[in-house]
Amino acid sequence: MKLMQELRVRRATVDVEGVWQHGRVAKARAMGSPQYYRCYDCAFSEITDARRLSRFACSPLPAALDAAAAARAQRALPMLPHDQKGFRLEGRRVNVAVILFDAEGAPGFAVYLRPTATLAPNPSKLPSGPGALLAVLGYGDMLHLLCTLSTQNLAQRSLNMGLFARAASGPPFDQAGAIEALVAHGANPNARGEGGETPLMAATVNPLNVQALLSLGADPWLPQRRRVDGIGRSAPRRAVCAPAC
């Protein structure tokens, strides 16, 4: 896409929601702002510079990406084999992540994610207060995340909860940018969850998130205080054993 090349964006991810009807995603529409990346596949690839993101927001790029993503999402298929015929999904709202590239003629691809109960909120109406951070994180909008972190006096517990939420996000999503922003604004990479688990333990589902947390000071050898998964072990043991243990 020429606009992506001009603004030096290698790839972009757009969240699309619609309704599953007759074997396809109908009424597809992009939700929130795209996520922008400076390379095709590298660590800390998401663009997190607020000035640059603001420039993107004022350009024709978001509208072009939204239109391309909505069109591609209509051809997305369920990931789970038992959903392939779509009978269980008929009439349900679904969420699709569409990944687009800057190369001319590159097809990009759409990943079917999950059925959703409701459509995501409008980013201009995201709530303030204790629930604001989790709402923004759920929306996947880096510019709104940076604004929320910079303008709201968020409690340590809220920041840590946000870090756990991003750490636990599975592939193919790179959450390193959000993880870095949260830690920079006070989230503790060695925080303990209710069961004694750490963000690194939550991140074992996604190597990109593990790499980000380790580079930001997460201790891989902190043991769980309680046996949440039945054994009670450090993040490396949990990752190595799953799903065998």
Which of 185, 183, 186 has the alpha carbon at shortest distance from 203? 183
CA–CA dist 121, 132 (Å, integer): 12
**Of the residues 100, 116, 132, the one at which a domain ends:** 116
pTM of the complete model: 0.70
Q: Which residues contact 193 (CB under 8 A, 6 or more apart)?
A: 164, 202
Query: How big is the chain, counted in residues?
Result: 245
Query: What domain range is 94 assigned to?
Result: 2-116
Span 60-109, pLDDT tens digits: 999 999 999 998 888 887 765 555 555 677 788 888 888 899 887 666 66
Q: What is the pLDDT of residues 1-14, one digit of tens each?
A: 788 999 999 999 88
pLDDT tens figures, 105-163:
666 666 665 555 444 445 555 555 556 777 777 666 788 888 888 888 888 888 999 89
Q: Do 47 and 21 share a structural domain?
A: yes
Helix (H, G, I), strand (E, B) or coil at 238: helix
Do 196 and 172 share a structural domain? yes
Query: What are the helix and strand counts (H, E) for the chain?
Result: 10, 4
**What is the number of structural domains in the chain?**
2
User: Which one of 116, 145, 178 terminates a domain?
Assistant: 116
Q: Which of 74, 92, 116 is the last residue of a domain?
A: 116
Q: Name the token pair of 107.
A: 């097809």
Residues 111, 30 share a domain: yes
CA triple 200-148-128, angle to 5 deg: 110
